[in-house]
């Protein structure tokens, strides 16, 4: 069965090192909490808000052991007025036997406001 695992994190500085480090931190937590195995991941979509342009966050996934061949795509988030700024979001599509309610989504830093119901 294919499931989506969501995550988001905000950054304080638009630099390559900060973008890659924050994305890796978010992915490390998603992987750990959901026991994700790269060969069971179908694809990963990463979006960023429009002020993030110093690096592709997908670069962080190339730092993860075994994730070399996982298809990753970066895109820009829709610029909705009043939405959370400096935010990196991820959607991991994984083949798993877990039920929807057993998936652990990760919202870090200021991104916790996006889904406070999942941060309890």
Strand order, beta sheet including 106-108: 72-76, 41-48, 87-95, 2-10, 106-108
Give the separation between CA 119 and CA 40, rounded to whole angstroms. Answer: 25
Task: Tell whether 107 is in a known binding site.
Answer: yes
The answer to whether 25 is a known ligand-binding residue is no
- Distance, in Å, from the CA atom of 120 to the CA atom of 113, rounded to the nearest integer, reads 12
Consult the annotation and say whether 6 binds a ligand.
Answer: yes
Residues annotated catalytic, as ranges: 6, 62, 74, 77, 89, 107, 115
Pairwise CA distance, residues 94 & 104, whole Å: 12
* H-helix or E-strand spanning residue 24: helix 16-34
Feature table: binding site for prephenate: 6, 89, 107
Feature table: binding site: 6, 89, 107
């Amino acid at each position: 069965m294919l499931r989506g695992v969501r995550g988001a994190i905000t950054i304080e500085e638009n630099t390559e090192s900060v973008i890659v480090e924050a994305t890796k931190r978010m992915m490390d937590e998603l992987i750990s909490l959901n026991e994700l195995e790269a060969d069971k991941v179908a694809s990963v979509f990463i979006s960023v808000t429009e002020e993030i342009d110093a690096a592709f966050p997908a670069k962080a996934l190339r730092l993860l052991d075994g994730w070399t061949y996982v298809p990753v795509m970066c895109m820009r988030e829709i610029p909705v007025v009043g939405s959370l700024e400096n935010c990196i979001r991820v959607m991991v599509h994984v083949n798993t036997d877990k039920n929807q309610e057993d998936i652990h989504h990760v919202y870090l830093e200021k991104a916790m406001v996006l889904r406070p119901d999942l941060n309890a």
